[in-house]
Amino acid sequence: MLPAFTTRSDRQRSIFTPSSPSERHDNFESYWAFTQRHDGEILEDRRELTRKNELLASFQSNPVRSRRPLPDPERFYRNYVVMKDDPKTFDRKTLLLTFLYKFARHEWVGISAAWDQIPTMAESTKTSERISRYHLCEEFCHVRLFHEMFRTFHLDRVEWVPLGKWMGRVYRLFPKFPESMMSPPAFVSELMGLMLYLHIDAILDDVFGDEPEARDRVRALLREIMTDEMAHVGQRRNFIGPVGLKASRAMVEPMFRLFYRDIPESRLLFDIDRMVQDAKEFDYSVMPPDVVQRSWIPSYCKA
């Protein structure tokens, strides 16, 4: 179960709250203003954002490294791309780190495929198109933050490896679908990421309890990603009208189960049933207050 950061009187509206076209239009403009303040300028040719670069530089200039090595670092390298050993024999640190790579790898492959399919800033004529370009740059910055998590545990040989031919083709085709078809699964994908980050945050004390400095660095990196992902959930929700909203809710369980089925570590780390239920019931009151203060919520989801 997710940590209770607020009391019931603080509850917000469900992420599945209906919204009108005019509300969604206004919220696109609100999000666009927020993301420019939050991220700074886009460096499109480098897939970077100026304030994200400053953030990463601040972490890298003050590195934190675990005091104890992983029990068997080579086990991580042998299994981080494809699980070859029995995950039940893993220590929980290595298990979480191999899981994190597999999850982040899907993110990296997806955004890499989408980058060439959506309009550039120069080609963008709508606010939603400019938002999408910034959104992808944020996701590329997240991959760099994940990479810093691995370095925190002296895992300096991590490489970002493409998925197999079939999955790679799926990710390349997905951005070509019409917006009305693409928006519900894209929204559920963002919601799945946010639920995962909350559930990871909830187990960090247990998994890395004997490494408080490294644990706190991983949590700081995770909270930066979570702040963006919380805003992404609202931003993707903003594309969806009544029909798409109903379809999205129906997609939550099958999409979650299909995705985690292919990552064997997930069943040993998380309660997938609980994660599905938390997603269906999600409102922003379950988010850490420091994340809420720095992120963005659609107006129609505010109490």
Tens digits of residue pLDDT in 29-58: 999 999 999 999 999 999 999 999 999 999
DSSP-assigned states of every residue in 216-234:
HHHHHHHHHHHHHHHHHHH
Q: How far apart are CA 205 and CA 194, in angstroms?
A: 19
pLDDT averaged over 10-residue windows placed end to end, the chain, 303 residues: 48 93 96 97 97 98 96 97 97 98 94 91 95 96 98 97 71 65 92 97 97 98 98 96 95 96 96 97 96 97 92
Give the Cβ contact number of residue 86 at 10 Å.
9
Residues 6+ apart with CB under 8 A from 245: 16, 18, 184
Per-residue pLDDT of 184-201, as tens digits, reads 999 999 999 999 999 999
Phi then psi for residue 14, to 5 deg, are -60, 150
Q: In this predicted structure, what is the pLDDT of residue 5?
A: 44
Rounded to 5 degrees, φ, ψ at 183 are -60, -45
Q: Where are the beta strands (DSSP E) in 19-162?
A: 42-43, 48-49
Q: Which residues pair with 144 in a beta bridge?
A: none
Q: How far apart are alpha carbons 100 and 27 in whole angstroms?
A: 32
Please give the pLDDT value at position 170. Answer: 64
- At residue 3, the pLDDT reads 52
pLDDT for 171: 61
Which residue in 183, 201, 196, 101 sits closest to 149, CA to CA? Answer: 101
> What pLDDT does 258 receive?
94
Locus of tokens 């993707």: 236
CB 161 within 8 A of CB 112: no
Q: What is the pLDDT of residue 93?
A: 98
List beta partners, residue 283.
14
Tokens of 35: 């993301």
The 10s digit of each residue's pLDDT in 229-253 is 999 999 999 999 999 999 999 999 9
Show the DSSP H helices in the chain as ranges.
21-39, 50-61, 73-79, 92-115, 127-152, 165-173, 179-207, 212-237, 242-261, 266-269, 272-280, 289-294
**Contact (Cβ atoms closer than 8 angstroms) between residue 174 and residue 182:** yes
> What is the number of H-type helices and E-type strands within the chain?
12, 2
What does the block give as tokens for 246? Answer: 């109903």
Contact 263, 102 (CB under 8 A): yes
CA 242, CA 24: separation in Å to the nearest integer? 12
Contact between 39 and 121 under an 8 Å Cβ cutoff? The reply is no
pLDDT on residue 117:
87
